[in-house]
Amino acid sequence: QVQLVESGGGLVQAGGSLRLSCAASGRIFSINSMGWYRQAPGKQRELVAVITSGGSTNYVDSVKGRFTISRDNAKNTVALQMNSLKPEDTAVYYCNAAIRQRLVSAWANYWGQGTEVTVSS
């Protein structure tokens, strides 16, 4: 009933930029935090950036100053602008959102299907 659909991944050279987008759709009453995670081959999934409904943001240290997360509450979308990309940023990036489907519903965590980002050296 709720879907998160990502777009914007691809192949880029080191130093380049990519912009990831994620749109939430379906039965949505409200969205709390939205964020981006990534999982590189052989590694655990890690939080990259998160943004609250009020606009507060937090980033993993390795992307601070290079990545910017933003959201449009009216459109239920979140974006990740990635600049100065490095080969170590190569991973599958997943959109995440804490969503409540009805006023009386509990918050639930939803994930997108993932979009691959490859940074060549």
With a cut of 90, say whether residue 59 has pLDDT above it: yes
Q: What is the mean pLDDT of residues 25-53?
A: 96
Question: Are the C-beta atoms of 105 and 29 separated by less than 8 Å?
Answer: yes
- Whole-number pLDDT of residue 28: 95
- Whole-number pLDDT of residue 87: 97
Question: Are the C-beta atoms of 75 and 24 separated by less than 8 Å?
Answer: no
C-alpha 31/C-alpha 53 separation (Å) is: 7
- Whole-number pLDDT of residue 66: 98
Quick: pLDDT tens for 3-33: 999 999 999 999 999 999 999 999 999 999 9
Q: What is the mean pLDDT of residues 51-76?
A: 97
With a cut of 90, say whether residue 39 has pLDDT above it: yes
Strand partners, 38: 46, 93
Quick: pLDDT tens for 75-106: 999 999 999 999 999 999 999 999 999 888 89
* 42, HSE (Cβ side, Cα atoms, 13 Å): 1
Strand partners, 99: 31, 108
Query: Which are the contacts of 42, defined by CB distance < 8 A and separation ≥ 6?
Result: none
Would you put residue 76 in left (φ > 0), alpha (ψ -120 to 50) or beta? left
- Whole-number pLDDT of residue 105: 86
- Whole-number pLDDT of residue 103: 86
